Structure 1
Amino acid sequence: MKVPTIEQCYKIFEDYSVPAPIRNHCEKVTEVGLLIGRQLQDSGMEINIPLLEAGCLLHDAFKAASLKSLDPKPEWGYYPTDKELKIWGELREQYKNTHETLIVAEVFKKTHPEFSTFLAMIGSTGNPCYLEGGIELKVLHYADWRVQFVEIVSFDARLNYLRETYRDSWEKHGVSWDKRHEQEKELERQIFKNLNFSPDDLNKELRQSH
């Protein structure tokens, strides 16, 4: 599979003026994803690290397009620039009602078709197609859901946050929360049965890796 280089990933950040809070989230998810991915690889599991890294970096690159407004966040020291607002408006117009992962997939459709398909499977809250994907997709998803903004939180806390935040989306897609919750917890069990640390020790393990 042809995978974008790290330089190409960061060029996307620059070309589309990805707001700093979104970029910071993507980078934190990448840290977590690579920690898990490399340790799974060390345990003997076959895993495509470049694919995992590029996917983690780009998974939310177009998150701004899903926002109804691009507002200042003083608590994060973030104030949108004129260029960010301009590109945000263009993306909102070009990709109406399109999930952010599908926008990234569309951007890479011609140059990296297999990678585009991979990105499209990240899915949305109401469409958990990542559960049917390979280990790279599952690790990416899990890493993303362990990172709330740029802070590592427990999986249960993250699931509760997402349940409340995206309640309308769950119900719109007819998602059974009890079933979905168990699927997510089973995914966590599958990942960590091959690791030598527990989900609760993820933050500690990340600090030690630095």
Structure 2
Amino acid sequence: MGQLIPTRQQCLELMRQCRMLPHIVRHSKVVADVALLIAHKLNTGGQSLDIALIEAGALLHDITKTRSIETKENHAETGGELLASLGYPAVADIARQHIRLDPRLSVPDALSEAEVVNYADKRVKHDEVVDIEERFRDVLERYAKRFPGLQERLREVQHETRLLEQKIFSRIDISPEEIKVIL
């Protein structure tokens, strides 16, 4: 029996039920566009990524972000918990890893759905496709004062994202810069 993955329409309904702020909904839709473009390119090149899982994971990666603005909770964790409780464990894993990937789950010769969504999220500032440097600059400016030690963690995540970018784009026929042009 296959894993349960919500359709795009079910994802949009869940976003509405969770009262996601409109700008977070727009961000999530652009992340999905980037992730789907990359996933289709990777699959054309021989990967076998689950497109429906990537779309659901990208749309729902920030499912508890709206409430986290007030609660200060880790929205990657609470999003994962919510999605798991709804019967979507594979989507929950993507939500949990959208900020930082679990290195134990990465394999050198293949890409996972979580890696594709994680990278796509790092390329979208609000609802605009940008390069990694601009995205990390924005995150630092918005969150550095509220989260001590963020600058060092961001440096590590930015380095990890650069390595992931190399892993992705060594397997497809477009460059990172072309994503913005294509979309």
TM > 0.5 fold call: yes
Please report how far the alpha carbon of residue 203 of structure 1 lies from its aligned counterpart in structure 2 after TM superposition.
Answer: 1.1
The aligned runs of 1:156-195 (5 Å cut-off) are 156-167=133-144, 169=147, 171=149, 175=153, 177=155, 179-195=156-172
CA displacement 1:10-40 (0-9 Å, x = unmatched) = 1112222222111111111111110001110
Alignment size in residue pairs: 175
- Summarize deviations over 1:65-105 as a string: whole Å, max 9, x none: 1224xxxxxxxxxxxxxxxxxxxxxxxxxxx4422232322
TM-score (norm 2): 0.82
Q: Does 1:47 align with 2:83?
A: no
Secondary structure at the counterpart of residue 26 of structure 1? helix
Distance 1:176 1:59 in 2: 19
| 2:57–2:91 Cα contact (<8 Å) kept | no
Checking the alignment, whether the CA contact within 8 Å between 2:53 and 2:91 is kept in structure 1 is no
Consecutive unaligned residues of structure 2, counting only runs of 5 or more, are 106-110
| Residue 85 of structure 2 corresponds to residue 110 of structure 1 | yes
Unaligned runs of 5+ in 1: 69-95
Q: Give the counterpart of 1:155 among 123, 132, 140.
A: 132
User: Are residues 170 and 41 of structure 1, via their aligned partners in 2, closer, same or farther at CA, if it must alter by over 3 Å?
Assistant: farther
So what's the TM-score if we normalise by structure 1?
A: 0.73
Decide which moves more: 185-194 or 97-106.
97-106
CA RMSD in angstroms, aligned pairs only: 2.4
Pairing of 1:20-59 with structure 2 (within 5 A):
20-59=22-61
State the Cα distance separating 1:205 from its structure 2 match.
Answer: 2.0
Q: Percent same amino acid at aligned positions?
A: 26
| 1:204 Cα offset (Å) | 1.2
Contact kept, 8 Å, 1:4 with 1:112, in 2: the verdict is no
Tell whether the 8 Å contact from 1:146 to 1:153 is kept in structure 2 after alignment: yes
In the alignment, the residues of structure 2 paired with residue 47 and residue 14 of structure 1 have an alpha-carbon distance, to the nearest angstrom, of 27
Q: Find the residue that maps to 1:4 and give its secondary structure.
A: coil
Note the C-alpha offset of 1:55.
0.4
How far does residue 194 in structure 1 lie from its aligned partner after superposition?
0.8
Quote the offset at 1:166 in angstroms. Answer: 3.4
The structure whose Rg is larger is: 1
CA positional deviation for 1:120 = 4.8
Partner amino acid for 1:103?
A: T
The SS at the match of 1:184 is helix
Between the aligned partners of 2:152 and 2:18, the Cα distance in structure 1 is 34
- Provide the residue aligned with 2:101 in structure 1: 129
Say whether the 8 Å CA contact 1:43–1:195 is kept in structure 2.
yes
Instruction: Give the CA deviation at 1:64.
Output: 1.2
